[in-house]
Structure 1
């Protein structure tokens, strides 16, 4: 058994995940009543979500505490890439929605939904999350609050003794090792997730909204394979596709199945390490990206909002459409990092066109119907681009300084 496990672990993680995917599909078709299989997926995602908040706290605190005055972290460049990528996603979605307008058959939504009423409320929520109680932030996976407290704690520890800083770093390393153990069970976890998705939702509920889903997924693929590579090319001045495809393969696939940018933070951390990126930078940029780098969410907000606009036959000029791109980018940055987090921001975007809240809520209901595929693709785009833009900024900095621009092959 031990020899078999050693050989299994020597196989590429991506290949093992694909094996789990295929087996999950086969089991769902052959044994749909074996609901216990879905427990593997629940345990896997639960373990990732359980360790991710405390990992982010110690990673960021350790990185900030080690930072010395004048030491470069390249964060300004990465944040700029995040902003450009998210706005470009929103604009792409707006253009695609005008090129291929969709008319919805609106359905009723849950009465329990409580979406934000405007951009002011979104910004207010962001500010309140920043000053949230640190224990509450950890318990509720409030990553904005965790990041804020981690930065404050790290800044305070900059003046601590080296021994204290070493303890914080050792805890961070230990948590990273624990994450590695959890990730080794990814194939089994994804097997359970796929089984649960197919046996619970099936594909029949997606057929009515196939056109809408095609536009959403098409936009996200276009951004992942055309827009983001173009942004990276402008930054690094070399072929971006080896880096783009690797980020999609090693980060996007796991994010697709976990459907949580927050839960995929440990995976991205591991990929950044394999790429040989600066730990001082990626230990901050990756958790930050999981909070504000939401290109997929910008696509979802724009496409579903304009679907409501077309359904109600509302005329939209170019200026308003451009404003929607900006609004969707800002709103996406405030979207929750959990599954379906972007959908409740749709009513806010609909208010730009005077669409009543009761109609907008029905559009949210449509979003939940297609959410099985939409949210998976959205999360894959969001999470993989966190590493992509971090690596692009790292390469650009090395090129500027005259160093090597070749990342580790891992």
Structure 2
């Protein structure tokens, strides 16, 4: 039965969960027991998220290999710059178009006072970061989790390959548990939407539409304006033939799979069709599945600032800048699974003194709108992996006096197999 349940697309299951929860809230608003499903789902996320973030970051740092050649250095700079610029764009959009969330328990659970100055913020950050790592995991102190995961990850680089392999396997196992929890998201979402509608009415749910528009609008602006400017700055060529082709070739399938990891074979085939250097893209594309997370940075920043707006927390420019840095760093460790970026929100929210209970309510809202938000986010993340891998090679070629005509390269790639064919051909090799 579980296999049949998983065989149905997660998007379809979430839509069904939304419909069922809404219908029950309309027909039987007094059956509060239905809301327990939402509480169980959020509780499971609260339990697994700190452990998953700790091992993901620790494993990524311990497995990093220095001395990469070819275009890898340029790719890394592009990945990190794009993620940071995406966070800045999200903060700017949140200032221009503030959104209030519907948090059923917000009136009963007060957020901690927001820090008044940048000095106080830095002081709190340093104090919280060096807390006991075990206590940090138990209490979901994400700042401390991030600090100790980095420290232990760097230390593990000096250990044997077998030790690092064990850490990687543990990280994979914990990620698998998180995937299992997310598989039951439709039941949790049914409970969450039931509680929201029964307590705030359908008018409250309508506010989710504003949040979706802000998220999708920001991601669209970043991919069609910010990223092309980065490409033009490095290649001095019209960036839109390549930008639009990567969106079609990689973004569309990623929109439906909602997983950057699942989309890796498609991106690898697309790189081959463009005639890129295999020794470069065979490393940069898999790495981009987690390290290049501009869409995730937008989601985390927008939803964190929406929570601040809802709770009446003033966010000064220095605090917003700090949020961008923290979000960009954390987003690079986002899991390549559907909804993985949402589990980073509590860490960003803790910067403003928002307690974990309210932060996990925001995560719950993220899963409710995830049918659209996470699909667009994944499309941005995956398509930009392909975009920046190609840009890095073309930029280095131009620097070495051998410029490549990007438009001609895209025209040549258009005659190659379609993404579905590439994915089908790659699947037997993986199995």
Q: Tell me how far apart the structure 1 counterparts of residues 268 and 85 of structure 2 sit (CA, whole Å).
A: 25
CA contact under 8 A between 1:126 and 1:334: conserved in structure 2? no
Q: Are 2:394 and 1:363 equivalent residues in the alignment? A: no
**Secondary structure, aligned partner of 1:402:** coil
Q: Are 2:333 and 1:343 equivalent residues in the alignment? A: no
Unaligned runs of 5+ in 1: 1-34, 43-63, 145-196
Matches within 5 A, 1:295-334: 295-334=294-333
Q: Residue 117 of structure 1: which of 125, 141, 145 is its match?
A: 141
CA contact under 8 A between 1:259 and 1:375: conserved in structure 2? yes
CA contact under 8 A between 2:101 and 2:207: conserved in structure 1? no
Moved more, 100-109 or 246-255: 100-109
CA contact under 8 A between 1:97 and 1:303: conserved in structure 2? yes
Distance 1:108 1:273, change over 3 A: farther
CA contact under 8 A between 2:105 and 2:358: conserved in structure 1? no
- 1:368 Cα shift? 1.1
Equivalence for 1:257: 256
Equivalence for 1:84: 81
Unaligned runs of 5+ in 2: 11-63, 107-136, 157-162, 176-185, 194-201, 414-431
Distance 1:247 1:141, change over 3 A: farther
Q: Tell me how far apart the structure 2 counterparts of residues 114 and 279 of structure 1 sit (CA, whole Å).
A: 43
Q: Tell me how far apart the structure 2 counterparts of residues 208 and 320 of structure 1 sit (CA, whole Å).
A: 26
Equivalence for 1:396: 395
Distance 1:206 1:36, change over 3 A: farther
- 1:72 Cα shift? 4.3
Distance 1:211 1:370, change over 3 A: same
CA contact under 8 A between 2:75 and 2:284: conserved in structure 1? yes
CA contact under 8 A between 2:140 and 2:356: conserved in structure 1? no
Distance 1:75 1:321, change over 3 A: same
- 1:222 Cα shift? 0.4
- 1:400 Cα shift? 1.6
Distance 1:143 1:348, change over 3 A: closer
- 1:39 Cα shift? 3.1
Equivalence for 1:13: none
CA contact under 8 A between 1:77 and 1:393: conserved in structure 2? yes
Distance 1:107 1:268, change over 3 A: farther
Q: Tell me how far apart the structure 2 counterparts of residues 72 and 133 of structure 1 sit (CA, whole Å).
A: 23
CA contact under 8 A between 1:296 and 1:381: conserved in structure 2? yes
CA contact under 8 A between 1:347 and 1:357: conserved in structure 2? yes
Q: Are 2:287 and 1:279 equivalent residues in the alignment? A: no
**Secondary structure, aligned partner of 1:336:** coil
Equivalence for 2:70: 73
**Secondary structure, aligned partner of 1:84:** helix
CA contact under 8 A between 1:114 and 1:344: conserved in structure 2? no
Q: Deviations over 1:72-125 (max 9, x none)?
A: 41111110011110000000000100101111111479xxx9995223413544
Q: Are 2:254 and 1:294 equivalent residues in the alignment? A: no
Distance 1:331 1:277, change over 3 A: same
Matches within 5 A, 1:200-211: 207-211=206-210
Matches within 5 A, 1:139-150: 141=172
What TM-score results when the alignment is normalised by the length of structure 1? 0.64
Q: Tell me how far apart the structure 2 counterparts of residues 384 and 138 of structure 1 sit (CA, whole Å).
A: 28
Distance 1:136 1:299, change over 3 A: same
Matches within 5 A, 1:12-23: none
Equivalence for 1:39: 7
- 1:331 Cα shift? 1.1
What TM-score results when the alignment is normalised by the length of structure 2? 0.61
CA contact under 8 A between 2:99 and 2:211: conserved in structure 1? yes
- 1:326 Cα shift? 0.9
Equivalence for 2:231: 232
Q: Tell me how far apart the structure 2 counterparts of residues 206 and 242 of structure 1 sit (CA, whole Å).
A: 39
CA contact under 8 A between 1:247 and 1:384: conserved in structure 2? yes
Equivalence for 1:134: 165
- 1:372 Cα shift? 1.0
Distance 1:139 1:263, change over 3 A: farther
- 1:322 Cα shift? 0.9
**Aligned-pair Cα RMSD in Å:** 3.4
Q: Tell me how far apart the structure 1 counterparts of residues 256 and 138 of structure 2 sit (CA, whole Å).
A: 26
Distance 1:78 1:142, change over 3 A: farther
Distance 1:343 1:114, change over 3 A: farther
Equivalence for 2:240: 241
**Secondary structure, aligned partner of 1:393:** helix
